[in-house]
Amino acid sequence: MILEAFGEPLVMREMEIPPLEKGQVLVRLSASGVCGSDVHQRNGEDPRIPLPIILGHEGVGTVADLSGEKKSVEGDRFSPGDLIIWNRGISCGECWFCTVAREPSLCPDRRVYGINKSSANPPYLNGCYADHVILENGTDIFRVDGDCDPAVLVSASCSGATTAHAFDMIGDSLAGKTVVVQGPGPLGLYAVAFAKKLGASRVVVIGGSRNRLELCTEFGASLLLNRHETTVESRREALLDMTYGRGADIVVEATGAYGAAVEGIRLLRKGGTFLTTGYSQPVGTEEVDFYRDIVAKNATVQGVWVSDTRHLSQALALVTGNPRLFEKMITHRFTLDKANEALDVMENREAIKAVITF
């Protein structure tokens, strides 16, 4: 399913599978996640997208063929039929960000399946809205052992890994902490799950959808604050009440909505940390009172951009440790030919998570 023009539906095309070059892996897709950013990409709102392109950066599949020897991150040799998941980004491994800063997700040459790899360039099968994808040499791949529904795993490679990245940047233990999550979508659900998994005592979720909020309870949230039934001020009061007047130790912004950052920072206790993961598209500027909300509170504001293999590893451990929980996140399943419908239910927010299955 190829995006040939922004704002237009994806179109079904037949493509030849090219011969594999050394180090490449041909993958038969089992499931392909539909991410909120795919919607923005179809609409032409993401400047990274070349045309034509096979969208889809969240894939899980089985090894169909491979050229030469290729090992998993854990050191296993692959055999045809192995179920795999991979880091959606490929970094150069040699630049200052990859080697000195050790932050491969900041590599200026980072390429991402389904995002900045056009289907016009070899090896053409560069996105996950397709029967097959070819993983180029340098892709970091995990083999998934055991019996796990591929559809449940796909989100680990994007919203899961990005949320893992956020929590990985907190220098302190979460033991006994109070965490606020803004936005009960896939990023927010992962934030609830990670906060609980890493030791938080209480997780408060702010959101506007009753269904999504209730799902957060199953993920471990202890307090839900519905934006339609509360005000910015009443939410802040509720939080202060439960924290001896201090505020949240950690706030995870997972909406990208205008105003979320300003509300989130104000919910922090003195010395607290604000992790912002949701702003994946421009929404303009917000008004920050540095003196009152950052300096006098000794606050940390941490931007979190995408993720790397380390984070996928953490997200994968989280999901495979409790697949039944994460299955609840998937509200819609489609076949590949219905990819446009899958994008539609994400766009109109009918779905929490839609997955294309094969």
**Residues 102-141 within binding reach of its own copies (CB under 8 A):** 102-106, 108, 138, 140
Nearer to its own copies, 36 or 345 (CB): 36
CA distance 184 to 186: 7
Angular region, 6: left φ>0, alpha ψ -120 to 50, beta rest: beta
Binders of its own copies among residues 287 to 326 (CB under 8 A) are 287-292, 294-305, 308-310, 313-314, 316-318, 321
Nearest distance, CB of residue 339 and its own copies, angstroms = 27
Binders of its own copies among residues 12 to 41 (CB under 8 A) are none
Are residues 195 and 203 in contact, defined by beta-carbon separation less than 8 angstroms?
yes
Nearer to its own copies, 138 or 210 (CB): 138
Nearest distance, CB of residue 189 and its own copies, angstroms = 16
Nearer to its own copies, 50 or 176 (CB): 176
- What Å distances lie between residue 217 and 94, 242, 275, 319, CA to CA? 44, 17, 21, 17
- Residue 225 binds its own copies (CB under 8 A): no
- Residue 50 binds its own copies (CB under 8 A): no
Nearer to its own copies, 10 or 191 (CB): 191
Nearest distance, CB of residue 356 and its own copies, angstroms = 27
Nearer to its own copies, 172 or 229 (CB): 172
Binders of its own copies among residues 237 to 296 (CB under 8 A) are 244-246, 256, 261, 270-271, 276-292, 294-296
CA distance 99 to 93: 7
CA distance 89 to 16: 24
- The residue count for the chain: 358
Angular region, 66: left φ>0, alpha ψ -120 to 50, beta rest: beta
Residues 157, 26, 7: CA angle, nearest 5 degrees = 60
Nearer to its own copies, 129 or 274 (CB): 274
Tell me which residue has tokens 């169909």. 64
Nearest distance, CB of residue 91 and its own copies, angstroms = 9
Among 133, 189, 198, 225, binds its own copies (CB under 8 A): 198
CA distance 114 to 71: 23
Of 222, 257, 223, 224, the closest CA to residue 349 belongs to: 257
Nearer to its own copies, 41 or 314 (CB): 314
- Helix, strand or coil, per DSSP, at residue 343: helix
- Residue 74 binds its own copies (CB under 8 A): yes
- Residue 75 binds its own copies (CB under 8 A): yes
Among 71, 77, 210, 349, binds its own copies (CB under 8 A): 71
DSSP per residue, 204-272: EEEES-HHHHHHHHHHT-SEEEETTT--HHHHHHHHHHHTTT--EEEEEE-S--TTHHHHHHHTEEEEE
**Which H or E run includes 150?**
helix 150-153
Nearest distance, CB of residue 170 and its own copies, angstroms = 8
Nearest distance, CB of residue 23 and its own copies, angstroms = 10
- Residue 48 binds its own copies (CB under 8 A): no
Over the window 137 to 166, marking each residue x when it contacts its own copies by CB under 8 A and - when it does not, the resulting string is: -x-x-----------------------x--
CA distance 151 to 10: 21
Nearest distance, CB of residue 15 and its own copies, angstroms = 27
Nearer to its own copies, 106 or 238 (CB): 106
| Total residues at interface with its own copies (CB under 8 A) | 80
Nearer to its own copies, 30 or 91 (CB): 91
- Residue 93 binds its own copies (CB under 8 A): yes
Residue 78 CB burial class (10 angstroms; 0-12, 13-18, ≥19): middle
